[in-house]
Structure 1
Amino acid sequence: MKTMKLVEVEGALLAVEYEANHGGTATPVLFLHANVADRRMWQGQWDWLATSHPVISYDRRGFGESHTLSPTPHSHVADLWKVMDSLGYDRAVLVGCSMGGRVAIDAALAQPDRVRGLVVVAPGVSGAPAPQHCDSVNALMNAISAAAHQGDLDTKNELQARLWLDGPLSPPGRVEGAIRQLFLSMNGSALRAAHPGMASEEPSAWEQLEAIKPPALVMWGDLDLPHLQERCKLLAHRIPAAQSMVLRATAHLPTLEDPQQFNAALGRYLGSF
């Protein structure tokens, strides 16, 4: 049965959703959301996976149903451990998309004994070189910055949907209907949330990728930002014994666009343990 609770961390209450009632002894799977989403981005994985594994997802500070009590310096990795500790889990498979992938990588380097497996989807990487974009991507990013400067959050939200949901080189509005509305709801909530305070910079992971110990799966959509696709190929090469998977006809959030394709890849990975 899916249960929701608030986990107290310094300066905030984190909204944590979990389901642990199954008969097996499988390792818990903990989902970490992107910066343009919240824990709802994993709804297409929940019912499928909860039949075989304990499942956890939570909203980071400033997202979804988490509450900022006061702007406070914080560590996303420390918050992750606090969530796991609150549920009594010493280890978990971490599944992170974008910024959630960055948190997962930082966590796997900080305390590898607590990370049974590592699945990252177009992850951020602390310390990675600054990307070089083509003119069309730069134009879209400049438009997003201009909307933010003008305080036009609705326009910023729509433009970010073009960048992250449609894919920057795809036709605007490629992804429609309920998926687009969910994106606009998740990202719109984050754009209007109270600032949670500054997150600490974890030690650069870019120089340490070869030190990642847990078995890893690196995934990316073939409609995502070109530099992220190239970075993912490099990650799969540099992380020891990493597997890789290209998710066809998807951009930055394949769990929303094509949950069956994503779930099939995740299921094969989990079945290899």
Structure 2
Amino acid sequence: MTAGTATSMLAVPGGRLAVEESGAADGAPVLLIHAGVTDRRSWSGLVDVLGPSVRSIRYDARGFGETTTEPHDDWSPVEDARAVLDAAAADAAIIVACSMGGRTAIDLALVAPGRVRALVLIAPAISGAPAPELDAVTAELDRRGDAAIEQGDLAELNRIEAELWLDGPGRAGRVGTEARELFLAMNGAALAADDPGARAQDAVAWPRLGEIRVPTLVLVGALDLPHVRAAARHAATTIPGAALVELEAAAHLPHLERHAVALSEIAAFVRRLAEA
């Protein structure tokens, strides 16, 4: 069928999710779940590389982008992801997810394994992970962030989070204008958004990663936070058969940076499965 792009608003309990589809309607479905400092726009570079033969489905999670919500306690990120798949009539999909989105993807693979054909996890958060011990540079940025929150200075908080998650701690300004402006726009909107309510605990994945039985690719940037790199390595060594790609000159959001190796590795992994 002809490739194209369509956007819609999907009703879920307590809100409406902004969903965007592109590519061939009969292509292999790929569900993209963004990080907690971005929105669905962060995937544009990867969607371009995947091309029109793949059916790319991306959405704004609650509190992000164009999604609208009202306070709704115990809302479930996993149920939201399932609702997007249901609306797309996709029984199962290759899930590509980053950070907070990685947590949702892993939980989905444990709660509803039949909906997940494969996983691409970029610097994934993992539910049930031990509390991180922050290195000195990250701890100072965390302290400055707390101070900005106390002062109500969201612009300063946004700049601090750009260093943490886009540039890498201690490397402020490393990433150029286009990706930086998009990050600040996406994260700025998220920082100013209304609270969607308390999220449900869908799973406790850290001790259960060995239960995942789908092809899995884990990527993490060499400039990412130390505890994030450690968690990514843990996922790659614990999920049976998982592959790990450590990316030079990349931090937490390599796809937003349009990191060539990250995009190439993800595209190759997705195409192998799509053509199988």
TM-score (norm 2): 0.94
1:184-241 Cα distance to aligned partner (Å, 9 max, x none) = 0000000011111111012210010100011100000010001111211121111000
Q: Does 2:179 correspond to 1:176?
A: no
RMSD over aligned Cα, in angstroms? 1.3
The answer to whether the 8 A contact 1:71-1:195 is kept is no
The answer to whether the 8 A contact 1:27-1:91 is kept is no
- The worse-fitting range, judged by mean Cα deviation, of 43-52 and 56-65 is 43-52
User: For residue 11 of structure 1, what is the aligned residue in structure 2?
Assistant: 14
Q: Does 2:121 correspond to 1:120?
A: yes
User: For residue 211 of structure 1, what is the aligned residue in structure 2?
Assistant: 211
Q: Does 2:137 correspond to 1:107?
A: no
1:36-82 Cα distance to aligned partner (Å, 9 max, x none) = 00001101011222422111000001100001144443000000000
The answer to whether the 8 A contact 2:23-2:53 is kept is no
Output the CA distance in 2 between the equivalents of 1:207 and 1:234.
11
Q: Which amino acid aligns with 2:22?
A: E
**Change over 3 Å in CA distance of 1:231–1:72 after alignment to 2:** closer
User: For residue 246 of structure 2, what is the aligned residue in structure 1?
Assistant: 246
1:138-172 Cα distance to aligned partner (Å, 9 max, x none) = 111111111112211000000000111110132x1
| Aligned-pair CA distance for 1:5 | 0.1
Question: Which structure 1 segments of 5+ residues have no match?
Answer: none
Question: Which structure 2 segments of 5+ residues have no match?
Answer: none
Output the CA distance in 2 between the equivalents of 1:90 and 1:104.
15
User: For residue 196 of structure 1, what is the aligned residue in structure 2?
Assistant: 196
Output the CA distance in 1 between the equivalents of 2:203 and 2:267.
31
Aligned residues: 270
Output the CA distance in 1 between the equivalents of 2:23 and 2:135.
45
The answer to whether the 8 A contact 1:101-1:123 is kept is yes
Q: Which amino acid aligns with 1:208?
A: R
| Aligned-pair CA distance for 1:268 | 2.2
Secondary structure, counterpart of 1:256 in structure 2: coil
Identical-residue share of aligned pairs (%): 43
Q: Which amino acid aligns with 2:92?
A: R
- The worse-fitting range, judged by mean Cα deviation, of 125-134 and 253-262 is 253-262
The answer to whether the 8 A contact 1:16-1:56 is kept is yes
| Aligned-pair CA distance for 1:177 | 0.6
User: For residue 62 of structure 1, what is the aligned residue in structure 2?
Assistant: 63
User: For residue 147 of structure 1, what is the aligned residue in structure 2?
Assistant: 148
Output the CA distance in 1 between the equivalents of 2:260 and 2:59.
22
Output the CA distance in 2 between the equivalents of 1:63 and 1:270.
26
Secondary structure, counterpart of 1:255 in structure 2: coil
User: For residue 5 of structure 2, what is the aligned residue in structure 1?
Assistant: 2
Output the CA distance in 2 between the equivalents of 1:48 and 1:269.
12
